[in-house]
Chains A and B, each alone.
Chain A
Amino acid sequence: MEPLNALVSVTNFMLIPALAYGSQLALGALGITLIFSILRFAHFAHGDTMALGTAAVIGGTFFFQSQGIGISPLPTALLAIPIGIVVMILYLLAADRMVYRYFRKVKAKPLTFVMASLGVMFVTNGLTRLFMGVGETRFEDGERFIFTVREFREFTGLAEGMALRSAQAITIITALVVMVILFWFLNRTRAGKSMRAYSDNEDLALLSGINPERVVVITWTITAILLVLAGTLYGLDKGFRPFNYFQLLLPMFAAAILGGLGSPLGAIVGAYVVAFAELGITFAWRRVFSYLAPEGMEPTSMMQLLPVDYKFAVTFAILVIVLLFRPTGIFRGKVI
């Protein structure tokens, strides 16, 4: 039974968390890659916009809770997601109206857009902290576990336990559904096709009568939906702290670049690679190997390649390797 125990251990401590984290990153990285391919700049306000969207969802959650409205056993936050999405669509469209549209009109350099997104980042960050403060807010409610360690042990009779938190399961399922819908949208609908055409060749798209402002509005709308979902799922899974959302910027960019900037499929693959690398390299493998090793040869050290504090270093190393050896990313992103 020993290898089975090892498998259970690795699933519990690494595979499930990495899948959940990867799904959250994927939703974020998809937004980054979409903005990059349509609006053609690196959106630095992404992490903080995610935080603001989550703050809106938390506000909605607290309102529903105070009214006694819930969808137990599911977390109330799921009910509040539409509120967050509407708020963020309005917010991002307002930001586009007031900030980015002018720079599009004067055909500013890409870095001017990035700089403007820094300004938006500052404002968004200030707003989030104004509403939520800097501390941690937990807003997960409903049934916390689909099955607990104890239930799993009793059911299987294994020594090693495994738990599946509902936040993790919801994250993985939602991310899958959203990705399927997004690909269907991009490949099958008229609006999605016009987006791809615009990103592929702007002049040709204009020539064939695609309205650029409409494409931009659709892009921000989709980004807002992805942002709020990613932020809420991350918050449900790990608690809400504004600064953590800012720090997600690096893994999200790394995922988008690794997959190939501008390629949605690449963003998803990149996100899972980053998540598994981060967790795998900072994971203490001792427990797993103590099941696999023969009697008397169990490892004595933690078997951890890097301390957890260096998870950014892992992301960064991935980024550096990609930049050095294949700057276009796995799926050959555009423009370099």
Chain B
Amino acid sequence: MSLTARDLGLFAIMGAVLAMVAMFQSPQLAITILNMSLISAIMALGVNMQWGYAGLFNVGIMGFTAVGGLAVVLIAMPPVPEAWAAGGLGILLGLMLGVATILAAVLVYKRMSPGALRGLAIFAVLVVGYFITSQVFGPAKQAVEAVNPAATGYLGGANLPVILSWPVGAVFAAGVAWLVGKVSLGLRSDYLAIATLGISEIVIAVLKHERWLARGVNNVTGIDRPVPRPVDLQPQPWVQSLADTMGWSLSQTASIVSGLGYSVLFLIVLGILIWLAERALNSPWGRMMRAIRDNEVSARAMGKDVTRRHLMIFVLGSAVCGLAGAMMVSMDGQLTPGSYEPLRFTFLIWVMVIVGGSGNNWGSVLGAFVIWFLWVQVEPAGRWVMETITSNMDVGSDLRRHLLDSAAYMRLLTMGVALLLMLRFAPRGLIPER
């Protein structure tokens, strides 16, 4: 725990700001900001591992969080027996055939000597494999999606406790990261960025359009929550007495208690991760990572396998992002693939890491809190500014309406300016690496 008095002061200021939100706006808002900040802090930790420790540039955070979110559906939702009966086996067989096709192509590539013949053989394997796979997979998929499409139309999950989905989400994200890293690490540093940008778009496309998997754009709602819902808390006598002592309404108290339950869970996860990350950073392994980041050539000369270490840290960091993605979906109780937007889920996290201080775990956490707070609060502030500007204008004028509508986009502008200012004047961030 290497926090100076100054760092603690920064955290204290952030806490005071949140307390003020609770006092002057509403306690629920403060708790919503707190919970989302905690999740963002975990995402930022994951990105900090990749960028801060190893200098890897990942712009596919959205994809890894979405894969983590998928795990929640696959673990916690009850299975749909009719759908499994209709096409479950066909889908599994189809997926296996698809994997087998790719493995066969890899095998041909490895076994045959280079030349035109090998290219033809690989092409033939892929074409034949594709047609066999689609013959099996296509009908099964349609059968599954036809089962009561208004309510289910997908295979459902494993009906296991939802908390299990968090580590599973991390594993899913790690798997995707391994594939991407294997392809693009060891090349120019920008290539990883472009490859991750691509994979994140594809993950979202798959989530949106493979309805048998998680209902696509129809969303999966009503996922089991790890914390009692406010509705279930309301009849509890202790909640009622708490409401009386605090002078809040019953529904307000119930949602505050439920929200705080999440905060505690998230704090535990964040605490464990920070502890692990700090231990790792200050171990020989962490020093090796920084040595690789600062000078790859000399690290290679010392006999370190740079590409393998990069792959390792890339997988680890992405797993942390997947974990955060799973946590977020289980907090919302729904998976909505349409709501994943790169600006919000990838680039905002980057602003958090840079503003907080790359290379420093506590910095990422603080950055997440500061930036998420700004993200939430800039919109009402922007609206207020716009209303002040337009107060003299004609009520019906187009310009006034346009300006008021555009207040929502002020936050993008603010984030961009914040990032550029930090890069220029304080590139080491709020809590610099030491």
Instruction: Say how far A106's CB is from chain B's closest CB, in angstroms.
Output: 9
In the complex, the answer to whether A327 meets B424 with C-beta atoms within 8 Å is no
B189 proximal to A (CB < 8 A) = yes
Selected A-B contacts with CB under 8 Å, 19 pairs: A42-B193, A99-B420, A99-B424, A119-B417, A124-B416, A125-B343, A126-B411, A126-B413, A126-B414, A129-B406, A246-B343, A250-B198, A307-B209, A316-B195, A316-B199, A319-B198, A323-B191, A324-B183, A327-B188
A316 touching B198, Cβ below 8 Å: yes
User: Which B-chain residue is minimally distant from A250 (CB atoms)?
Assistant: B198
Assess whether B201 is interfacial by the CB under 8 Å rule: yes
Nearest 7 CB-CB pairings of A with B: A122-B416, A126-B412, A126-B413, A123-B416, A119-B420, A316-B198, A119-B419
Q: Which residue of A lies closest to B138 (CB)?
A: A301
User: Chain A: interface secondary structure?
Assistant: helix
Note all chain B residues with C-beta closer than 8 A to A309: 205, 208-209
Contact across chains for A249 and B423 when beta carbons are under 8 A apart: no
* Complex CA distance for A120 and B347, rounded to whole angstroms: 12
A116 touches B198 (CB 8 A): no
B410 interface residue per 8 A CB criterion: yes
Q: 1/0 per residue A105-148: CB within 8 Å of B?
A: 00000111011101111111111011101000000000000000
B104 CB within 8 Å of chain A:
no
Q: How far is the CA of A323 from the CA of B209 in the complex (A)?
A: 27
Query: Which chain A residues border B414 with CB–CB below 8 Å?
Result: 126
The reply to whether B195 and A323 form a contact with Cβ atoms under 8 Å apart is yes
Instruction: Please tell me if the beta carbons of B342 and A122 are within 8 angstroms of each other in the complex.
Output: no
Which single residue of chain A is at the shortest CB-CB distance from B403?
A130
Contacting B at CB under 8 A, from A141-184, are none
Q: Given A44-B59, A111-B189, 15 other A-B contacts at CB below 8 A?
A: A99-B424, A110-B190, A112-B427, A115-B350, A118-B347, A118-B350, A119-B420, A119-B423, A122-B415, A126-B412, A126-B413, A130-B409, A249-B197, A250-B201, A257-B194
Is A234 on the interface with B (CB-CB < 8 A)? no
| Bound Cα distance A6, B423 (Å) | 56
- Is the CB of B184 closer than 8 A to any CB of chain A? yes
Complex CA gap A115/B57 in Å reads 9
- The answer to whether B354 has its CB under 8 Å from any CB of chain A is yes
How distant is the Cα of A319 from the Cα of B205 in the complex, in angstroms? 17
Which residues of chain B from 156 to 195 have any CB-CB distance to chain A below 8 Å in the complex? Answer: 183-184, 187-191, 193-195
Q: Which B residues are in CB contact (< 8 Å) with A121?
A: 347, 416
- Give chain A nearest CB distance to B153 CB in angstroms: 17
Query: Which B residues lie within 8 Å of A250 (CB)?
Result: 194, 197-198, 201
A interface residues, how many (CB within 8 angstroms): 49
Q: Which A residue's beta carbon lies closest to that of B130?
A: A305
Asked if A320 is at the interface of the complex by the 8 Å CB criterion, the answer is: yes
Partner of A312, one of B201, B347, B419: B201
Contact (Cβ within 8 A) A111 B57: yes
Are A120 and B202 in contact (CB-based, < 8 A)?
Answer: no
Neighbouring A residues of B305 by C-beta, 8 Å: none
- Known contacts A41-B190, A327-B187: does B202 contact A312 (CB below 8 Å)? yes
Most chain B beta-carbon neighbours within 10 Å: one of A118, A120, A247, A305:
A118
Instruction: Please name the residue on chain A nearest to B55 by beta carbon.
Output: A111
Question: Is A313 at the interface (CB under 8 A from chain B)?
Answer: yes
B433 at the interface (CB under 8 A from A): no
Question: From B412, which residue of chain A is reached at the shortest CB distance?
Answer: A126
Nearest CB on B from A249, distance (A): 7
- B416 and A319 form a contact (CB under 8 A): no
- Residue of B184, B194, B201, B419 touching A118 (CB-CB under 8 A): B419
Given contacts A133-B406, A320-B183, contact A122 B195 (CB under 8 A): no
Q: How far is the CA of A335 from the CA of B343 in the complex (A)?
A: 30
Contact of A185 with B by CB under 8 A: no
Please give the distance in Å from A47's CB to the nearest CB on chain B: 11
Interface flags for B193-233 (1: CB within 8 Å of A; 0: not) read 11101110110010011000000000000000000000000
Give Cα distance in the complex from A313 to B423, angstroms.
Answer: 33
List residues 290-315 of chain A with CB under 8 A from any CB of chain B: 305, 307, 309-310, 312-313, 315
